[in-house]
Structure 1
Amino acid sequence: MKIPRESGLEPLVLANIRRCRRRAFALRGALAALLIAAVLAALTTFLVVLSGDGLSAVAPRHWVALGVVAGLFVLFVLIVGPEKVPVAQSPDPRALSVFRNSLGGVSVAVGIEPPDLVVLDLPTANSVSLFHKGRPAVGVTVEALDSALSRRCAEAMMAHEVSHVLLGDVVIGSTRRRWRLVGLSLIAAVVLPFVFLALAFGVGSWTYIGFLSWAAVVVFLLFVLGKRVFRQNDLLADSVAARITADPEGLRDAILRLDRMFLENDRPFPSGARYPTVLFVYEVRPEVDLATMREMMGDEDDAEFQKAQDRNLLEGLRRSGARQRVSTEDRVRNLEAIERGHWRVFES
């Protein structure tokens, strides 16, 4: 999303936003370049085959073996690909108006057109920036609508998500459309070179060793780049949001309140969901059988003790998985420093 010249943000804030956008663009460019280079390697191999003395005869069993290995790789790509975030069908329009008005006010303050507001069917009171219908949007969960959050809290959440849109680090979507192109390119980049080499020189043990080695290198590089590309800068987004609303205390209170609501909520996310890592408050839903874990730790008849023990288990599991992004405590400390006039993210 383009930042207008007449934006209400100060030059220092705009400079930080543009630096983050350039970094995100460079990382995405590196990721695309890796895929393009691998596809070009496949096309080059194909041209070498065409310019040779003809195709080698390949035994059917080798084609079957290559097909099985390629199929396993395709299955791996499809399994680990980003899942779509479920969109709610019939949200409460009255509750939604609070967030819609807050989103509109924040967008006007920045000088941009308000992003689409999408209601998500997730078991948490939360919000997120995402791609919807091909463009950045802001999502809010049904549980957040049902929680009767204050206008101040809604404004803080919307300001944080709009900040992510401005920073260009939106990483999830309401559909899998964006992933399909990457997945198909990845399959072509890894599988096709060895299909063409097999046609040109026949199949031997080198084919499988080379295929697995090439696949491992490409997947590893994509994984390393992907961890950098699909990462959001929450401290910078919080700082930009505090500039937009001029209310860092409201944002801090919203973070703390939603974090407490998570600790009181043990409803699990769908199995394998990874989008919790980019929600407004990091919501990991550890899928564990608490009753079984209690038995492993020793029986207790006291209901209050069991409840406290369950809460400690969930909180510990949550924090053990919260290493992919900055902690709630760090975000709160950053906002407390902003309240004292120290904009540490902008000053660094």
Structure 2
Amino acid sequence: MARMKKLVLEDVKKISIQIGEIPKLDDVNNVLINIKACGICSSDYSRIYEKGAYKYPLILGHEFSGVVKDIYRNIKNIKKGDRVAVFPLKPCFKCDNCHQKLYAQCSSYGYYGSREDGGLQEFLAVPEWNIISIDNIPYDIAALIEPASVALHAIKKVNIENHDKILILGSGIIGILTGLLLREMGINNFYYVVRNHNKNEILRLFNFQSIDYSYKNNDFNIVFECVGSNESLENSIKFLKTKSTLVLVGNPESDMLIKRDVYWKILRMELNIIGIWNSYFPCEWQEVVKIMKLLNYSCLREMIQIVQDFNELLSTIDQKYQKKNLKLKIMWVNNE
């Protein structure tokens, strides 16, 4: 029986390298992916070190790409050797939201790296429906398609006019990808607000404009909040002008508590607040693939800390959690 390596989370702060069988294909999980790259999301650190996982044992990883190793019978649109990325959400296709093709709002879903084993293993069997072709995009860059699709989903929720002034709070991966996508869409009147010097280096790398927190003018039409903290939420509202739009993108770090005076501002300014969850598949993923082909891969790689060995990956994840000076995204790349 063929064997593979996998990184298994057994409990909070308990993660180990294990050897297991390569998954078998069936009528549901009918495509075997040899995983070539898998990014570590900020939500993975919470699962490993803080709040724990939805289930144990669990193989983390929902941002991944790879090559088709094998297919089950009656598969026509996918063949061995295809280079692909995988949409991590597995809809039930039965609920009201699924019937409206709102798969991200499915009421009974599976999710790679959260509710089901994900991409931090050498092989994974997935449904044909979840697969999208990446053409010749490198595997490490293709592992950014998932967070880039979230960023695109946020952008497409807003009707951006030529005169709009846009602010992005948060210069993590999704925040940076939001700026890159805006630029590729011909939208350039956007700014970041950051206080972290290392992240300012990333902004300079991409020639992004920035302001600091002492900025006094509330003259922004649209703010993308990509952090998910109380402080960031309050700052977002501080920068907005009357009758403008706040897009909530960042997952909350803890309970979000709105102060009375901040709540009054929302009411008096008649702010439009939009929540964002996941992305629309396959349409937004297909659009991201087209845009990804136009981006500067060498600049994108300046944000990625590539790790090829699982032992090294464990120590690198630990260093990142301790906020040591690493790049924005830790990524396992499988060159075997």
Q: What band does the TM-score fall into relative to the shorter chain?
A: under 0.3
Name the structure where helix makes up a greater proportion of residues.
Answer: 1
Q: Which has the larger radius of gyration?
A: 1
Give the number of the structure with larger relative contact order, counting CA–CA contacts within 8 Å between residues 6 or more apart: 1
Name the structure where strand makes up a greater proportion of residues.
Answer: 2
